[in-house]
Amino acid sequence: MLKTKPIFAFARSFGRVALFVAAVAFAPKVSAVERPEQVLDKEVGIFTELGRQVDLSRTFTSVSGETRALKDFAIPGKPIVIAPVYYKCPRLCGLLLDGVYNLLNELELQLSDDFSLLVVGFDPTETPQDAQKVMNKFNAKLIGLPASRTAAIQYLVGGQEQVRGLMGELGFKYMRDGEDFAHSAALMILTPTGEISQYFTGIMFSPWDTRLALVEASKGEIGTAIDHLLLYCFRFDPLQGKYTWAVVGLLRVGGALTLIGLALVYIYCARRRRAGAAGLRAVDGANP
């Protein structure tokens, strides 16, 4: 019995290795790169281009077959959210759009009133019909007020030159891998005039951070006074992918509140002093 234990241990180890090799060899192929930092040749991923001007005059085609400039599909004067996808993607694009639509249902800012969403296909061989199928599937996920604002969501396809130019300006790099594409997942938030204001990578998006990013991108045109005060105290941290306290802004607000507090204390003390002096004069007048 003692001699057979090492044999059984070896058999178990060999079995585990064999199962692992089989799983790798026969696992279904997934082209989408969910961890772009693992792509060593730097051909795939999100390469941020904050402040870069996107050419909104490039023409794309909607699901209705209408071809117009990109800016004409957006709400005038409002920030633009762009979601790059390809409509036949087997996995990652669907996860991205799931995250986007969860965000739309939770976000306090409203489609059409405060921003528009452009879902742009980066496979130039896809058709408006391909985009239509995906649009119908995901628009059905909207609830409440967002469900009545789908006109502010546009699904677009474009030719090779238009797609390549737009994705290059957005810093969105991808590569064909057989019938699919290797790519990452992200949202880009543009100012109303097309400057890249912020990136959100991944497939889940915080309504809080997205709200602040849209307010910031709007140049003061949307959001409440409190939103703009928060932007004074918060800054986007690209390493954490969210808005965090800005020390300088916080110190300024704290300093201003301290000065206001000191001023109120001074006014209170001055009034008490004047009231005391007036009382003493009254007593002196009553007792000559």
- Average pLDDT on 179-207 reads 95
* In a domain? residue 86: yes
Dihedral (CA of 247, 208, 211, 196) sign: positive
Task: Single out the residue of 174, 180, 173, 162 nearest to residue 118, CA to CA.
Answer: 162
Element (H, E) at 218: none
**Coil, strand or helix: which one is 85?**
strand
Number of structural domains in the chain: 1
Task: Single out the residue of 219, 215, 185, 187 nearest to residue 200, CA to CA.
Answer: 187
* In a domain? residue 82: yes
Side-chain half-sphere exposure of 61, counting CA atoms within 13 A: 17
Residue range 107-128, pLDDT digits in tens: 999 999 999 999 999 999 999 9
Q: How confident is the model at residue 226 (pLDDT cuts 50, 70, 90)?
A: confident
Residue for token pair 């959210």: 81
Taking the whole predicted model, whether its pTM rises above 0.75 is answered as no
* In a domain? residue 1: no
User: What's the domain range around 213?
Assistant: 45-223
8 A C-beta contact, residue 91 and residue 129 = no
- Average pLDDT on 123-144 reads 98
- Domain harbouring 108, CATH code: 3.40.30.10
Residue for token pair 């020390």: 247
* In a domain? residue 7: no
Q: What is the pLDDT of residue 236?
A: 64
CA distance 242 to 110: 21
Instruction: Say yes or no to pLDDT of 240 above 50.
Output: yes
The 3-state secondary structure of 176-187, one letter per residue: EECCEEECCCEE
8 A C-beta contact, residue 163 and residue 127 = no
CA distance 267 to 273: 10
Q: What is the pLDDT of residue 281?
A: 59
Q: Six-digit token pair at 270?
A: 């001055």
Mean pLDDT rounded to a whole number for the chain: 81
Instruction: Say yes or no to pLDDT of 174 above 60.
Output: yes
CA angle 207-75-236, nearest 5°? 35
Instruction: Say yes or no to pLDDT of 25 above 60.
Output: no
Task: Single out the residue of 192, 118, 181, 198 nearest to residue 150, CA to CA.
Answer: 118
